[in-house]
Structure 1
Amino acid sequence: MTDLHGSPPPDTLPAGFVALVGRPNVGKSTLLNALLGQKVSIATRKPQTTRHRILGIHQRDDAQIVYVDTPGLHEGGRTAMNRYMNEAAGSALSEVDVVVFVTEAGRWTEADERVLRRLRGSNAPVIAVINKADRVRDKNRLLPEIARMAERAEFPAVVPVSAEKRDNLEALETAIIDHLPSSPPLFPRDQVTDRDERFMATELVREQVTLMLGDELPYASTVEIEAFEQEGRLRRIAAIIWVERVGQRRIVIGEGGERIKRIGAASRREMERLFGGRVYLKLWVKVREGWSDDVRMLQSLGYTPPE
């Protein structure tokens, strides 16, 4: 319903769900954090860092954009963890108002082509984003790349951005807002994500494990919060880093416990920055063979199939 001038009633605004989709390691989580202006999704240079669907809610004066950060759509993985990540990414496509297809400037791969084929069945409009545009030194090279992208499908918009530099994000959100339905706000106007601090603590520890040990321990670890207590502005957190083999446990701990101390210190700093208070963090490293292919353990760790 509109007034005589065609404006929506004051209690409605463009509001809807927007899936960030692409192959692993194109910068979806970095883009989400840049759009929100704060960290809600961990980001590293290792593919498949994101394992869960995470909502990031951008509370604009003129719109409420609910971004859905998804694991990268990929092939080749055969474990229950790989199946879970693909299901989490794929299910988002049927539940959103807009899809943002994220690619990487100067690099089009067969994995991008597979994602695009999957998106051709989407009922939602698909906006193409060419991320990492800042790495193209000759900006004249971007114009033919944008043209090639426009030829691949009937995208309503093709937007070059730099998530890392936060360049051209307003143009992207303008294109998104043009395709959002008008409705009352979907979430309280002060909410930024659907995830709680316990989940974020888990992810921040896993982020540091990946950053420090990504080459030695690429996908063989996960994190479980064993205790999370808050006393005023102090949070006492105990977490387990699970690995699949005894040798991996030695890698995480490091000589004389040096590595686990570094992981703990960096995780604690990130938590204190995000939570706005002091954190006392205790970490253990334990072995569980085949955890990534153990459906029951994955469910106990929060890797539950999309509803």
Structure 2
Amino acid sequence: MAPMSDRSPSSRPETQSESAPHRAGFACFVGRPNAGKSTLTNALVGTKVAITSNRPQTTRHTVRGIVHRPDAQLVLVDTPGLHKPRTLLGERLNDVVRTTWAEVDVIGFCLPADQKIGPGDRFIAKELADLKRTPKVAVVTKTDLVDSKALAEQLLAVDRLGRELGIEWAEIVPVSATAGEQVGLLADLLVPLLPEGPRLYPDGDLTDEPEQVMVAELIREAALEGVRDELPHSIAVVVEEMTPREGRPADRPLLDVHANVFIERPSQKGIVIGPGGSRLKEVGTRSRKQIEALLGTPVYLDLHVKVAKDWQRDPRQLRRLGF
């Protein structure tokens, strides 16, 4: 849920001139799963605050990335992709999406340039059409994957979609987050749609996500790589403990991170661990490097794989795993 703030004119910083008021607010990227929302969030913030994967439904937590500018503070709310739910977890993820839509100041609708507009896009667009007061920007993502002709056709298709459903796009912007193309322009176009007001977060803050949650997400991202198609939705990670190693010299600190990787069935355990523990070791090595980069300190990562039977459908297990 987006934090409440006082955005009255009297709360503006005194140094801000009346001709160029400071703006601050929340923007949300929406779209069907794997439309590039998390990658775009990371590109705008300039660092990794949301995990990415080539698997759909990777995002499970609402992660806020914060873009600091002299004239504005843009807080990006990264949500799961809206999808047809098959489990209780899926229903809860959709609830997160709709709640977020109702609270933000502007919505960016992400549509990949390399895929034709389909039923999933129309489903989301119809729901967006009901949000009459919230400005909407159409963001055509992954432009590096298509030529100029295909991109032009997709931009026209997005414009038609808006007219068919009664959505007046504030802007239609093509971007490539991976190539860094027009990412700055997108920020320039989002800022005027935010309300006037002071900063919502201190300078230097890039996210309000707790470190333990971010560490768990980095481990889960590493665990998603190279597994069978059906397995990613069965993986959850909980960081049980993060503590500095006692007795270490000040110039050689070490952070002990103990985490559990949960799967739903005993038969999945071997897939995650791999022959002779090789896969789990690879997951640990990859995620440890990311965690050290995030926290700026050497890390000892202790990973264990545990079974939480059918956790996606069990309310008690979902609560235990943080959903």
Q: Same fold (TM over 0.5)?
A: yes
C-alpha spacing 1:214/1:65, structure 2 compared with 1 (3 Å): farther
> Letter of the aligned partner of 1:188 in structure 2?
P
- Superimposed CA distance per residue, residues 122-173 of structure 1 (whole angstroms, 9 cap, x where no aligned partner): 2210100000111112x13322321221222210100000011111012211
Counterpart residue number, 1:45: 54
Counterpart residue number, 1:162: 176
Q: 1:237 aligns with which of 257, 266, 285?
A: 257
CA distance, structure 2, for counterparts of residue 298 and residue 216 of structure 1: 19
CA distance, structure 2, for counterparts of residue 126 and residue 296 of structure 1: 37
TM-score, length of structure 2 as denominator length: 0.88
CA distance, structure 2, for counterparts of residue 82 and residue 8 of structure 1: 46
3-state DSSP of counterpart to 2:209: coil
Matches within 5 A, 1:15-30: 15-30=24-39
CA distance, structure 2, for counterparts of residue 8 and residue 229 of structure 1: 48
Q: CA offset at residue 237 of structure 1?
A: 0.5
Counterpart residue number, 2:199: 185
More moved, 42-51 vs 290-299: 290-299
User: Is 1:113 equivalent to 2:127 in the alignment?
Assistant: no
CA distance, structure 2, for counterparts of residue 13 and residue 160 of structure 1: 26
Counterpart residue number, 1:97: 105
User: Is 1:246 equivalent to 2:266 in the alignment?
Assistant: yes
CA distance, structure 2, for counterparts of residue 212 and residue 40 of structure 1: 22
CA distance, structure 1, for counterparts of residue 150 and residue 308 of structure 2: 49
CA distance, structure 1, for counterparts of residue 270 and residue 150 of structure 2: 47
CA distance, structure 1, for counterparts of residue 17 and residue 152 of structure 2: 36
How well do the aligned residues superpose, as a CA RMSD in angstroms? Answer: 1.9
Counterpart residue number, 1:130: 140
CA distance, structure 2, for counterparts of residue 118 and residue 161 of structure 1: 23
Counterpart residue number, 1:225: 239
**Alignment length (residue pairs):** 298
3-state DSSP of counterpart to 2:284: helix
- Residues 14 and 177, structure 1, Cα contact 8 Å, conserved in 2: yes
3-state DSSP of counterpart to 1:212: coil
User: Is 1:8 equivalent to 2:18 in the alignment?
Assistant: yes
3-state DSSP of counterpart to 2:234: coil
> Letter of the aligned partner of 1:302 in structure 2?
G
Runs of 5+ consecutive residues of structure 1 not aligned to the other structure: none
More moved, 246-255 vs 292-301: 292-301
Q: Percent same amino acid at aligned positions?
A: 39
CA distance, structure 2, for counterparts of residue 47 and residue 16 of structure 1: 28
- Residues 27 and 75, structure 2, Cα contact 8 Å, conserved in 1: yes
Q: 2:93 aligns with which of 85, 88, 110?
A: 85
- Residues 133 and 161, structure 1, Cα contact 8 Å, conserved in 2: yes
Q: CA offset at residue 196 of structure 1?
A: 1.8
More moved, 276-285 vs 217-226: 217-226
Q: 1:201 aligns with which of 190, 211, 215?
A: 215
More moved, 25-34 vs 164-173: 164-173
TM-score, length of structure 1 as denominator length: 0.92
CA distance, structure 1, for counterparts of residue 19 and residue 322 of structure 2: 40
CA distance, structure 2, for counterparts of residue 208 and residue 97 of structure 1: 33
CA distance, structure 1, for counterparts of residue 303 and residue 226 of structure 2: 15
C-alpha spacing 1:214/1:188, structure 2 compared with 1 (3 Å): farther
CA distance, structure 2, for counterparts of residue 8 and residue 177 of structure 1: 16
- Residues 25 and 195, structure 2, Cα contact 8 Å, conserved in 1: yes
CA distance, structure 1, for counterparts of residue 292 and residue 43 of structure 2: 20
Q: CA offset at residue 216 of structure 1?
A: 5.7
